[in-house]
Amino acid sequence: MDRSFCIAPMMRRTDRHFRYLCSLLSKESTLFSEMIHANAINRNHPERFLNNSGISNDTVLQIGGSCPEELKKATLIANEYDYSEINLNLGCPSSKVQSGNFGAVLMKDVNLVKKCLSEIIKVSAKEVSVKIRLGVDDSDINEGLDYFIEELSKIGVNTFYVHARIALLKGLDPKENRTIPPLNYERVFQVKEDFDHLNIIINGGIEDFKMAKDKFFKLDGMMVGRAAYDLPFKLFDVDQIFFNSTKTNNSLLSVIDEMFEYIDTLNFKDEIKTKFHMLNLFKGLKYAKKSRLLLLSNDKNDKIKRELKDILLESEIKAA
């Protein structure tokens, strides 16, 4: 699996509808589900959470939880779905996640993490990875982080997605935890140097994809979150920059056609979600506001599609 460019798991963002959009913009990117708690998979109809149909990209299922048996059960169910990897979330700092004793707070308990991962690895049909922070609160990001990675590698974890910040669990909300703790890319470089046999993928603050490719060439890949969601058209360049591939048809017109073909297969609730994910496709265009209003309107899909394409064509004519 080529992890050169990954689109990060984002709650209420990287559902299957946004992943489908990403798959039209980049054929080669590795996609992530949003974090799904093991209990949600085990106690509901799993299709609701695990459906990944129509997406050809490698897709990683990210799960959350701290009960080894529940995580094992969820993994067994996930084996029946089309995912390329199972990833345990050890990086989410939200207070709700903390109260459930999963996410970043688990980095304080390496033995529990090992029990959880051991149960997942026992039954997973695919590779098992983790997403981590450099540390939590006042933990030692030098020896403490090395010890944490070493212990997980001993039980068979070979791939680490590393958000290049610590997580401050008290006093900061998730958004602040993505911006206030300073980025420390050098520490991630050192992790790769110390654990060269492991796959180390860097995450955090990446906006310029071309520059990032040059900056992080010693690592095994990079992961981009908000920069991909807020400006999804930037994904058009990913296959060429990172994979030397031109398979993607980089035309917004064709993307609109394919997205509305997809939308026509959905129920009303999922239609609304999918159109919401499309809002940022038009960011930066002269008629971006009009495009957004169309997608948020109650007009029929055929009318919305036609007018969106007219806007794009008019923009192209004026640009010429």
Residue 39 is part of a domain; what is its CATH number? 3.20.20.70
Three-class secondary structure assignment of the chain = CCCCEEECCCCCCCCHHHHHHHHHHCCCCEEECCCEEHHHHHCCCCHHHHCCCCCCCCEEEEEECCCHHHHHHHHHHHCCCCCCEEEEEECCCCHHHHHCCCHHHHHHCHHHHHHHHHHHHHHCCCEEEEEEEEEECCCCCCHHHHHHHHHHHHCCCCEEEEEEEEECCCCCCHHHHCCCCCCCHHHHHHHHHHCCCCEEEEECCCCCHHHHHHHCCCCCEEEECHHHHHCHHHHHHHHHHHHCCCCCCCCHHHHHHHHHHHHCCCCHHHHHHHHHHHHHHHCCCCCHHHHHHHHHCCCCHHHHHHHHHHHHHHHHHHHC
Nearest 5°: CA angle at 223, between 90 and 106? 5
Verify that 70 and 183 share a domain, yes or no: yes
Q: Which residue in this structure is represented by tokens 């159109």?
A: 275
Q: Residue 260 sits in which domain range?
A: 252-319
When pLDDT is cut at 50, 70 and 90, the band that residue 99 belongs to is confident
Verify that 50 and 106 share a domain, yes or no: yes
Verify that 127 and 29 share a domain, yes or no: yes
Verify that 42 and 117 share a domain, yes or no: yes
pLDDT 10s digits, 273-319: 999 999 999 988 788 999 999 999 999 999 999 999 998 887 665 54
Verify that 256 and 239 share a domain, yes or no: no
When pLDDT is cut at 50, 70 and 90, the band that residue 249 belongs to is low
pLDDT 10s digits, 215-226: 999 999 999 999
Of 243, 266, 291, at which residue does a domain stop? 243
Verify that 284 and 181 share a domain, yes or no: no
Verify that 108 and 256 share a domain, yes or no: no
Of 234-238, 268-272, 315-319, the poorest mean pLDDT is in 315-319
Predicted pLDDT at 319? 44
Of 243, 266, 295, at which residue does a domain stop? 243
Verify that 131 and 235 share a domain, yes or no: yes
Verify that 118 and 38 share a domain, yes or no: yes
Please give the positions annotated as active site: 92
pLDDT 10s digits, 30-47: 999 999 999 999 999 999
Please tell me the total count of domains within the chain: 2
Verify that 233 and 293 share a domain, yes or no: no
Verify that 83 and 118 share a domain, yes or no: yes
Q: Are strands 5-7 and 85-90 parallel, antiparallel or unpaired?
A: unpaired
Q: Which two tokens stand for residue 281?
A: 């496709």
Predicted pLDDT at 316? 62
Predicted pLDDT at 17? 98
Of 192, 220, 243, at which residue does a domain stop? 243
Verify that 106 and 11 share a domain, yes or no: yes
Global pTM value: 0.95
